[in-house]
């Protein structure tokens, strides 16, 4: 899989002087080809620069040039480095044994937060766990309705309070209800905006402080490239994130945003969303994604 996926790179290497073979003198051109491939994959510029300086140190060593196929060796080094940077793998939701586990989902509007609530619910249902969903996005009545429909579809309760204006209270009441009803997991679907704003961040920080979620996951749209990186930086500054869920990787996106978001937040990529259906959530696997980024 690895060799066939790097076909694009292999053919780019053919343009190198010296009959397409990497030599000491054209190694920098070889590295440039890798760099361009990462930029085409939507990895942000500063992350690419950082990453490539790491890779250059390794690639300029004798190991690459002494190997029979230097360009494949170079791609292998980049692949290894990508896997390392994208890891570690941690698909666990870290459920508590003695009290409900509170999962808080945050992210920009349209990133796929509410859909991801449904996906996590489906995953938990397969483990015979019935979560309580809490509709804490009070700005958009449609968001509350959407979560209710998801609850009905998946047969789990949804805590809603249409007359309440304070999302912190709604979350607190939701957690109290989960304790009373014996739900092992509470999923908070928080408000998003089309762009980052201070009011949103203040609200999320308040929920984080007063409700004390066990896990805070940032949901990011993988199709949005550089925007994904900027918003991830802002959420990461405001909240102590525990993981990232990147959605919409079923499309054309080559997944470079994952590398940037990982670099910016430093927290594990937990899952990737690969479709609109509730079963379209996969544990993140760095190997497959590294090959995709490096096509």
Binding site for ligand GDP (CB under 6 A): 107, 109-115, 192, 247-248, 250, 273-276, 280
Instruction: Give the nearer residue to ligand GDP in terms of CB position, either 20 or 110.
Output: 110
Q: Which of 112, 98, 118, 120 is nearest to 223 (CA)?
A: 112
User: Would you state the structure tokens that stand for residue 76, as one six-digit string?
Assistant: 């292998």
d(CA 168, CA 196): 19
Instruction: Give the nearer residue to ligand GDP in terms of CB position, either 30 or 255.
Output: 255
Q: Which of 167, 224, 174, 175 is nearest to 192 (CA)?
A: 167
Q: How far is the CB of 210 from ligand GDP (least distance, A)?
A: 22
Burial-class residue 252 by CB neighbours within 10 Å (0-12, 13-18, 19+). exposed
Instruction: Give the nearer residue to ligand GDP in terms of CB position, either 184 or 262.
Output: 262
Q: How far is the CB of 274 from ligand GDP (least distance, A)?
A: 6
Instruction: Give the nearer residue to ligand GDP in terms of CB position, either 112 or 151.
Output: 112
Chain centre distance of CA 244: 4
Q: How far is the CB of 283 from ligand GDP (least distance, A)?
A: 14
Instruction: Give the nearer residue to ligand GDP in terms of CB position, either 157 or 275.
Output: 275
Query: Given phi > 0 = left and psi -120 to 50 = alpha, else beta, which region is 96?
Result: beta
Instruction: Check: CB of residue 187 under 8 Å from CB of residue 147.
Output: no
Q: How far is the CB of 250 from ligand GDP (least distance, A)?
A: 5
Q: How far is the CB of 205 from ligand GDP (least distance, A)?
A: 19
Instruction: Check: CB of residue 203 under 8 Å from CB of residue 151.
Output: no
Shortest-Cβ-distance residue relative to ligand GDP: 273
Q: How far is the CB of 249 from ligand GDP (least distance, A)?
A: 7
Instruction: Give the nearer residue to ligand GDP in terms of CB position, either 219 or 264.
Output: 219
Q: How far is the CB of 188 from ligand GDP (least distance, A)?
A: 12
User: Would you state the structure tokens that stand for residue 207, as one six-digit string?
Assistant: 């929920």
Per-residue b or e along 16-52, where b marks 16 or more CB atoms closer than 10 Å to that residue's CB = beeeeebeeebbeebbebbbebbeebbbbeebbeebb
Instruction: Give the nearer residue to ligand GDP in terms of CB position, either 273 or 286.
Output: 273
Instruction: Check: CB of residue 184 under 8 Å from CB of residue 95.
Output: yes
């Amino acid at each position: 899989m690895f060799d066939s996926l790097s076909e694009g790179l292999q053919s780019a290497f053919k343009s190198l002087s010296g009959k397409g073979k990497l030599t000491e003198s054209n190694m920098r051109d070889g590295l440039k080809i890798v760099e361009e491939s990462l930029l085409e994959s939507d990895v942000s510029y500063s992350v690419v620069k950082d990453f490539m300086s790491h890779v250059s140190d390794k690639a300029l060593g004798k190991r690459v040039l002494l190997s029979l196929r230097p360009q494949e060796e170079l791609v292998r080094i980049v692949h290894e480095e990508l896997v390392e940077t994208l890891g570690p793998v941690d698909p666990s939701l870290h459920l508590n044994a003695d009290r409900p586990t509170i999962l808080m989902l945050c992210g920009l509007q349209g990133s796929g937060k509410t859909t991801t609530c449904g996906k996590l619910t489906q995953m938990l249902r397969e483990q015979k766990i019935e979560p309580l969903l809490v509709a804490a996005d009070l700005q958009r009545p449609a968001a509350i309705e959407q979560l209710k429909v998801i609850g009905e579809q998946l047969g789990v309760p949804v805590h809603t309070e249409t007359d309440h204006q304070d999302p912190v209270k709604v979350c607190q009441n939701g957690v109290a209800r989960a304790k009373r009803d014996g739900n092992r997991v509470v999923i908070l679907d928080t408000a998003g905006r089309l762009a980052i704003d201070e009011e949103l961040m203040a609200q999320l920080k308040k929920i984080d402080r007063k409700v004390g979620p066990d896990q805070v996951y940032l949901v990011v749209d993988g199709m949005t490239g550089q925007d994904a990186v900027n918003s991830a930086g802002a959420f990461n500054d405001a909240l102590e994130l525990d993981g990232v869920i990147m959605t919409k990787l079923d499309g054309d996106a080559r997944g470079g945003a994952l590398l940037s978001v990982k670099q910016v937040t430093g927290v594990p990529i937990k899952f990737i969303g690969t479709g609109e259906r509730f079963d379209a959530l996969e544990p993140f696997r760095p190997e497959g994604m590294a090959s995709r980024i490096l096509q």
